[in-house]
Structure 1
Amino acid sequence: MKTPTTRRRVVWALSLCTIATCMAVGGALLFELSVIGYAVRDFRRDEAIAQAGIARGEPATLEERLNPPYLKQYGLDRNLYTDSHGNFSPTGADWRQWALRTKVAAIVMWLGHDPPGTWWTFAQIKCVDRFPQAHADSEPIVDVADACLGTPH
């Protein structure tokens, strides 16, 4: 038979384990959400700076206009992900290799405007993350992103 002190110790131990688990999971989620928030902000800032340079008439080659240098900072160099028609078309295999920051930049780029929120962006990334289990690696990831975003681009 357990004594009241033993029960209290078991309850405290279970409570501490539960709290530690919640903190670990919550901490990881908060970290991902902060990376997403900063990536959206940074990508939009870099895009605005590039657009402002073009608007001021700063010289830019055709290559720099089609494949802006800031995209390379996010791992989205258009030259690396072109299909047979010359379109920017990364695949499921490419998506799996990308870091979270690159995935966020791709979602913002495909969306064409700021996402409705950090949690929404997180949900879209998780939706696309489920893609490789259901489709071939050669499938253009933008098609899956369109399905997850719910809007054609």
Structure 2
Amino acid sequence: MYWFIIIALIVLLLCWLLVVPVVLEVDTCVPFASMRWGKFAGAVIWYDEAWRFSFRMFFFKKTMPFSEMKRRPGKAAKSTHKKARPAKKNNLKKIVAIIKACEVKEWRLAIDTGDFTLNGQLYALNFIPLFYHHLSINFTGENYAYLKLQHQPWKIVYALLH
């Protein structure tokens, strides 16, 4: 009887992991990128005097600058040549299905080309309803991008299996 409860809890945990969203956030105004999988896992890259990396999973947390990350010496590559297989078309369909399943939660883009004439020609894009409050063509020298994407892991699995 106890094994049934343990198996049921493991199945419920796996189902919950498939439903919890994965959020990717990139901001170029403040050099920052993060990826979170619910409340229990995440990774962050940011810049303050040096590029830093932070990783968190459950109760484990590690933060370090990139300068402390050392590469392991790689093994010498074997020179055996294998026949190159042609890429399957199904892989491209799966990649497109994964990208289509992604939701854009928020995005902002500010552009100053440095050319007043070109900025003036592009300025009308600010008032298109699709870009309103998201795109800013400006004359102030301000350039930045912000993107927040959300993805459900079960949609990735569905796209890979379908």
TM-score norm. by structure 1 comes to 0.25
TM-score norm. by structure 2 comes to 0.24
Greater strand share, 1 or 2? 2
